[in-house]
Amino acid sequence: MLCKDFSLRFEMTDVTQKRCFVLFVIKMSQTTCPPKLLQIQNLKSKIPMSDLHTITATVNGKSYTRTIESRMLLSDFIRHELGLTGTHVGCEYGVCGACTILYDNHPTRSCLTLAVQANGHRLETVEGLAVSPTQLHPLQQAFHEAHGLQCGYCTPGILMTMKAFLAENPHPSEAEVREALSGNLCRCTGYQHIVDAVLNVKDEG
Ligand code: FES
Ligand code: FES
């Protein structure tokens, strides 16, 4: 096997393989990364004005106005433009449900929605769920009490999905809860505690 980095060609032994990898990483960090980062930083200023749109959206009761690229995803808008990183991104193609937010009260995959589509609309993310800085939303409290989260990565999407679900169906059966949860994947796979938590909210109601 040959290493072609830095135009050097030599036989790959364990030692040369490691050295080649280290040289490659150094080269990447010294030459490739900075121009690319610079390119990203300068990207916004080079976007034609026709590709930029100024939008205003209400997020968790607060109005935000931003000028954004037409192709920006809503998940990126929420996380990077607004800094609301409670909305997580998993698969980025609509399967896992981690990025679910409420869009005019409807659970919506923010990774499949363009940010420009939020113009004039009302969004809710997990940051807006708590009743006050010292009081959790009943769903959050139930998740806490029933150990409904493990690593927590899927939890914001599940909470937003369940909020809309319980608003429509305040007294669901276990089967209905499981069906409503079927669009949200938990990689820690602790679904029983999640179902228990949602049913506990029902019991409180
Ligand atoms: S990140 Fe949006 S559905 Fe997975
Ligand atoms: S709690 Fe870890 S992914 Fe669901």
Which residues neighbour 126 within 8 Å (Cβ) at sequence distance 6 or greater?
86, 87, 155, 156, 159, 160
CA nearest 107: which of 74, 64, 150? 74
The pLDDT assigned to 178 comes to 97
User: Do 158 and 122 touch, CB atoms closer than 8 A?
Assistant: no
The pLDDT assigned to 14 comes to 45
The pLDDT assigned to 205 comes to 46
Mutate to test the pocket of ligand 1, among 92, 113, 182 (most ligand atoms within 8 A of CB): 92
Q: Does 157 contact ligand 1 (Cβ within 6 A)?
A: no
Q: Reading across the β-sheet that carries 100-103, which strands appear in turn?
A: 62-69, 52-59, 122-124, 100-103, 106-109
User: Do 89 and 111 touch, CB atoms closer than 8 A?
Assistant: yes
CA nearest 157: which of 55, 78, 70, 82? 78
The torsion defined by the Cα of 16, 18, 24 and 25, in degrees rounded to 10, comes to -160
Q: Does 79 contact ligand 1 (Cβ within 6 A)?
A: no
Q: What angle do CA 154, 156, 161 make, to 5 degrees?
A: 95
Q: Does 37 contact ligand 1 (Cβ within 6 A)?
A: no
- pLDDT of 198 > 60? The answer is yes
- Count of other CB atoms within 10 angstroms of residue 86: 17
Type of residue at 175: A
Arithmetic mean of pLDDT, 96-125: 98
Could you tell me the pLDDT band of residue 43, with boundaries at 50, 70 and 90?
low
